[in-house]
Amino acid sequence: MKLHRFFIPPQFISGRYARIPDPDLAKQIGRVLRLSPGDMLILLDGDGFEYTARLEKVSAREVHVEIMKRQWNDKEPELKIALYQSLIKKDKIEWVFEKCTEVGVTNFHPVLSERSEKLRFNVLRAEKVVKEAAEQSERGIKPEILEIEEFGRALRRGAASEAMILILHPEGSSLERVTFPKKLLAVNIFVGPEGGFSDAEIDLARELIKNGAPISIVSLGPRILRAETAGLVASAILLNRN
């Protein structure tokens, strides 16, 4: 049987026995899943290590386990994708975070674009969705959701880093024509809101490209995808290139 997996703060794991003072975890383990002493589970430190553990005791507020084995999670992709998702409707952005976590995106940068209609989302809820998706899909890390940033700022900051930047835009050139470095280690993917990127935003990207920034404006094909679909599709394509 597949063991249940739980991200926990790494400081709670040290030595053979661990006491985890986390009421949410205790509730999940004791009341929701009804695990009992002797049951096995996997704890994740969020840095890529997994601990196979035996449940010793669970109360309303704490979980006690015996750590049996520590192993490295080898399911994290080598390619680190940062998804710069323009703000879209709340349940849609949660869906993006959830599905992209399953696929293997490393972290999420919510972006305020000119045509974003929604200006915020429930961060705590989104983090919970990401955590559960990361546990379910057997990730070694829990993708982080960063602060909301305005498009121009995010793009300029990205352009100053090493990572390659892909701006998804239906009128861009084909993704297949982009020349990737031989060893592609980091990509920042920008996805527009429901109404797409504005002309000013695309002009800014062109300006940065002229000045040598590693940005490509790319299309995923002739069909227009929903704002919540595009990042997922691009991530899946990139993570499955050889």
Query: 3-class DSSP state for residue 127?
Result: helix
Instruction: Measure the CA–CA gap between 237 and 231, rounded to whole angstroms.
Output: 10
Does an H or E element contain 98, and which?
helix 90-103
What is the x/- site pattern for ligand SAH, positions 150-169, by CB under 6 A? ------------------xx
* Cα 196 to Cα 178, 182, 183, 207, distances in angstroms: 21, 31, 31, 19
Q: How far is the CB of 152 from ligand SAH (least distance, A)?
A: 16
Nearer to ligand SAH, 29 or 227 (CB): 227
CA-CA distance, 138 to 73, in Å (whole number)? 8
Q: Which of 3, 51, 61 is nearest to 28 (CA)?
A: 61
Taking the least distance from each CB to ligand SAH, the nearer of 58 and 217 is 217
**Candidate residues 35, 159, 220, 232; the one interacting with ligand SAH per rule CB under 6 A:** 220
CB of 88 to ligand SAH, least distance (A): 8
Taking residue 91's Cβ as centre, other Cβ atoms within 10 Å add up to 10
Number of residues that bind ligand SAH (CB under 6 A): 15
Q: Is 205 in the site for ligand SAH (CB under 6 A)?
A: no
219 binds ligand SAH (CB under 6 A): yes
Among 44, 133, 227, 232, binds ligand SAH (CB under 6 A): 227
Contact status, residue 150 vs residue 111, Cβ threshold 8 Å: yes
Closest CB to ligand SAH among residues 65, 220: 220
Token duo for residue 75: 């399911």
Chain centroid offset of residue 33 CA: 25
42 contacts ligand SAH (rule: CB under 6 A): no
User: Which among 40-48, 123-131, 178-186, 214-222 is the span making contact with ligand SAH, rule CB under 6 A?
Assistant: 214-222
Contacts with ligand SAH by CB under 6 A lie at 168-170, 191-192, 196-197, 219-221, 223-225, 227, 230
